Structure 1
Amino acid sequence: MANPTRTEVAESAPGVPFDPAQVAVIEQFGGRITPLEPVGAEVRGIDLSALDAPPAAVLEALEQIMAERGFLVFKRDTPLEAADFLRASCWWGGKELHSTHGMHPATPDGNRHIFRLSNDRRHGIPGVGPQWHNDGSFNTDTFSHSGYHIIRPAEKGGGTCFAHQGAAHDALSAERQAYWGRLASVNSSSGAVHPVVHEHPITRRKCIWLHLGMTGAVIEKLPDQEAFRLLSAEELTQLCREYNAILNAGFTEGYALDFEYQENDCVFIDNLAVAHRAAPGAHLPAEEQGLRIMHRSTVRGTQDLAPDFGLPLQVDIHGPSPLEHGVWQGGGIGFRWEENIPMQN
């Protein structure tokens, strides 16, 4: 797939200027927000450890900017307690934790809402999220937001890559936009059905959305017909490769960022606006890279991420295919679109 031109990307990049009114609301509360380039924004002066949440107007301004820029990183000079991180996670979206992950023995106080990740299995679960994805694709409503609290950044680096899915959609050709707009993915674990192109609930911007490590089928609505078909193995391989390529293009074309954590950083992402994956260095052994520990939180969705062309919210991916021919693969990582890449979730 050809990468978008710089002219195309300049027209579609996520660098929406901050609304002065939103900035004023944040600053009146004592905060300061500055854009990261090319995506994300940095926040200082808002205390995540405060027992009382900021006023609703402040949270609305921050959540709007997060939807436009993809994620916010709250900078801190002191460590953040796990309980404070989880409480601040509930400032966004569904405003309630929705935790479906396994729990590592080293999780503080055995808190089921903390997903503890590390490059040393004695300290956390290793190898998670190496391919582009959005959290909670096994839920019909997905997660609205996720939080990433760096407990210990590795001395030699190993962060998280973020790609703006609205800008990536805009960088597609008109032909691919139309084709992808007729597609819906089926989660390989739960059978949840999600559109490959959706309209963001806050920005109203069209965004692409596909889990490269947990897709068991993709259904196409045939153009100008009330009929559906499954993508073949060849077609699904091409789709996944194109999706991977268009997000990777953002690193050079201005809509993706390899974010390196600093001590005490706390990142919150809009899970419908940015895809993410672990940077390769995040999974290198602690003996080589230095020990890395991160806590993740996930927030309940606000609405089903549902196709708008007649498909159900969920299907039985573990049962027989309802359509003739094509990929229908339940369990584990689903369809493997490249032979030798890691696909752990």
Structure 2
Amino acid sequence: MDITVKKLGCEVRGIDLKFENRSEIIDQIKQEVLKHRILIFKDQGNISGERHVEISKWFGELESTFYKHPRSPHPDVFRVSNDRSEGCTGVGRSGWHIDGTFQPAPFAYSLYHMESVPKEGATLFVPLTELIESLDKKTYELWNQVWMISDRISGCVHPLIYKHPQSRKSVLCFHLGMTTGFIWNYNQPSERNVTEKECQKLFNSIYNSINQENGKFIYTHKWKPGDFIISDNLAVGHFAHSSTQSPRNEVGLRVLHRTTVKGLVPPTK
């Protein structure tokens, strides 16, 4: 397994995911995902939906809460596209996030395969530990007192900053497009809901911190045919570039397959 470290994560060559089943290699892949947070497997060709699911199960039980598009190759594969007849559109465009914040425990891993690669349509990733470590004291203390309310349906409440269940490094539980509010000092005597003005200030603070110094922490992945990505969902935030929804007649067909692995540890302080 040949690994090339990038700005965030690393590129992997010399592994054919369509056939790899050696336990020692699978164990090494798991270790490298924890270490690098994103593994970009190059030159994988087209991986079937069934095989995509098999690879995902190396990491645990799948969580398939998404809409089942009729063109999806497997019930556990989320199919997204820039053409609604081919897949779900507008996915990942509501704001920077990790997947599954509406669950008691957000998804542990997300695995992506671009079945049809357009001329444009990048996915952006940001390392959450480095983002937190870059904050000034005042901003860190502000974020560290806040718990996010994921949405009105699930009602899940999670600390914005908490420790990753494996690495024990500080990470974020956040979704700038689905969060409906924040709570100060949840389950403490000083608990209270944030005001609308405070909520917007927090959204702006998170967004501006991610984009500080022209996005110095952001890794922009420009998809190539055969790319397959395994990401530690709890350690990196991501966002779909606006070009992911560019018309098919301008950039070509975009079809991305994604699976998500069930989280086991709810975020806690």
Provide TM-score, normalisation by structure 2. Answer: 0.93
* 2:64 aligns with one of 84, 99, 121: 99
Superposed, 1:1-345 pairs within 5 Å as: 31-36=1-6, 38-50=7-19, 53-55=21-23, 57-92=24-59, 95-108=60-73, 111-130=74-93, 131-154=95-118, 156-188=119-151, 189-221=153-185, 226-249=189-212, 252-253=215-216, 255-306=217-268, 308=269
- Displacement of 1:208 in angstroms is 2.4
Aligned to 1:330: none
Segments of 5+ residues of structure 1 without an aligned counterpart are 1-30, 309-345
Report the 3-state secondary structure (helix = DSSP H, G, I; strand = E; otherwise coil) of the residue aligned with 1:282. Answer: helix
Report the 3-state secondary structure (helix = DSSP H, G, I; strand = E; otherwise coil) of the residue aligned with 1:172. Answer: coil
Task: Tell me if structure 1 keeps the 8 A contact 2:101–2:173.
Answer: no
| Cα deviation code 1:22-77 (max 9, x no counterpart) | xxxxxxxxx111112x1011111222122x6332x544443343234321111125
| Cα deviation code 1:273-308 (max 9, x no counterpart) | 0000101111111122211001110101121123x3
In 2: Cα distance, 1:181 partner to 1:88 partner: 35
Task: Tell me if structure 1 keeps the 8 A contact 2:77–2:257.
Answer: yes
In 1: Cα distance, 2:77 partner to 2:44 partner: 22
Segments of 5+ residues of structure 2 without an aligned counterpart are none
- Displacement of 1:251 in angstroms is 5.3
In 1: Cα distance, 2:16 partner to 2:61 partner: 19
Task: Tell me if structure 2 keeps the 8 A contact 1:168–1:208.
Answer: no
- Displacement of 1:212 in angstroms is 0.6
Tell me the amino acid that sits aligned with residue 168 of structure 2.
R
How many residues were matched structurally? 267
| Change in CA separation of 1:103 and 1:239 when aligned onto 2, cut-off 3 Å | same
Task: Tell me if structure 1 keeps the 8 A contact 2:100–2:106.
Answer: yes
- Displacement of 1:153 in angstroms is 0.8
Tell me the amino acid that sits aligned with residue 89 of structure 1.
S
Task: Tell me if structure 1 keeps the 8 A contact 2:165–2:265.
Answer: no
Provide TM-score, normalisation by structure 1. Answer: 0.73
- Displacement of 1:272 in angstroms is 0.7
Report the 3-state secondary structure (helix = DSSP H, G, I; strand = E; otherwise coil) of the residue aligned with 1:215. Answer: coil
In 2: Cα distance, 1:218 partner to 1:157 partner: 35
- Displacement of 1:173 in angstroms is 0.6
Task: Tell me if structure 1 keeps the 8 A contact 2:105–2:265.
Answer: yes
In 2: Cα distance, 1:69 partner to 1:248 partner: 21
Tell me the amino acid that sits aligned with residue 235 of structure 1.
E
In 2: Cα distance, 1:238 partner to 1:64 partner: 37
Task: Tell me if structure 2 keeps the 8 A contact 1:97–1:297.
Answer: yes
In 2: Cα distance, 1:122 partner to 1:105 partner: 9
Task: Tell me if structure 2 keeps the 8 A contact 1:64–1:202.
Answer: no
Report the 3-state secondary structure (helix = DSSP H, G, I; strand = E; otherwise coil) of the residue aligned with 1:204. Answer: coil
Deviates more, 1:57-66 or 1:180-189: 57-66
Report the 3-state secondary structure (helix = DSSP H, G, I; strand = E; otherwise coil) of the residue aligned with 2:22. Answer: coil
RMSD: 1.8
Report the 3-state secondary structure (helix = DSSP H, G, I; strand = E; otherwise coil) of the residue aligned with 1:234. Answer: helix
